[in-house]
Amino acid sequence: MPRPSLKEQLLVAGLETFHRRGFNATSVQDITDAAGAPKGSFYNHFESKEALAVEAVHRYQEKGRARLAILRETRLAPLRRLRKYFETLVGLVVEAEFNSGCLLGNFASELSGQSPAVREAVAGAFELWSDEIARVIGEAQQGGAVPSGASPKALADFALEAWEGAQMRARAAKDRAPLDLFLKLTFAKILG
């Protein structure tokens, strides 16, 4: 198997370090140390730490697309697919012991007033994520499983925003209760 390029090593190390520590608490030295690369090599591949953060958002989004595949499993009813998807996300948060949360939510909180480039990348990623959820909610509405009083996009945006808030609360409390409450209310009251 070929060895990953230095740029790839830096991107992977940057994504992992940003996710674990946040943007402002991560230095270029932290990233190059994690990648096992000389500090000077960083700027051969990235214009700035901010440029790496934008690429990290895109890579994080790519990783998330693999988990979105469950939303296309048409052998399951739309709401079952959506619930299974969010249950998978709950499992990831719990497995990480409530330490990392969602990179998109973390960057939105930390950088929205600091970096227009990162803010735009995060906003775009949230929009595409919401569109995937809205598609499934639309299917559920067509099948009569979800009332049609609100648009699929509005319901998807609300569910995604509730999910992000539940994650933050779970991290603060180091407890899965906010995640369980999200699942219960989202599927019994909001989409039920």
Read off φ and ψ for residue 135, nearest 5 degrees: -60, -45
Q: Are residues 21 and 64 in the same domain?
A: no
Q: Are residues 102 and 179 in the same domain?
A: yes
Is 52 among the domain residues?
no
Please report, for the domain that includes residue 156, its CATH number. 1.10.357.10
Q: What is the number of structural domains in the chain? A: 2
Distance from C-alpha of 1 to C-alpha of 38, rounded to nearest angstrom? 23
Q: Are residues 100 and 120 in the same domain?
A: yes
Residues 16-50: tens digit of each pLDDT: 999 999 999 999 999 999 999 998 899 999 999 99
Q: Are residues 13 and 101 in the same domain?
A: no
pLDDT class of 145 with cuts at 50, 70, 90: very high
Q: Are residues 78 and 38 in the same domain?
A: no
For residues 33 and 96, the model is more confident at: 33
Q: Are residues 23 and 87 in the same domain?
A: no
Q: Write the CA distances from 109 to 87, 97, 122, 159, 165, integer angstroms.
A: 24, 20, 10, 18, 11
Q: Which helix (H) or strand (E) holds 33?
A: helix 28-35
Q: Are residues 70 and 151 in the same domain?
A: yes
Contacts for 78 with CB less than 8 Å, ≥ 6 apart: 136, 137, 139, 140, 143, 145, 146
Residues 171-190: tens digit of each pLDDT: 999 999 999 999 999 999 99
Is 136 among the domain residues?
yes
- pTM exceeds 0.75: yes
Q: Which residue has the tokens 């407890």?
A: 175
Q: Are residues 91 and 15 in the same domain?
A: no
Distance from C-alpha of 60 to C-alpha of 67, rounded to nearest angstrom? 11
Q: Which residue range forms the structural domain that includes residue 9?
A: 1-46
pLDDT at site 101: 85
Q: Are residues 30 and 100 in the same domain?
A: no
Q: Which residue has the tokens 């973390």?
A: 106
> For the chain, what is the mean pLDDT?
95
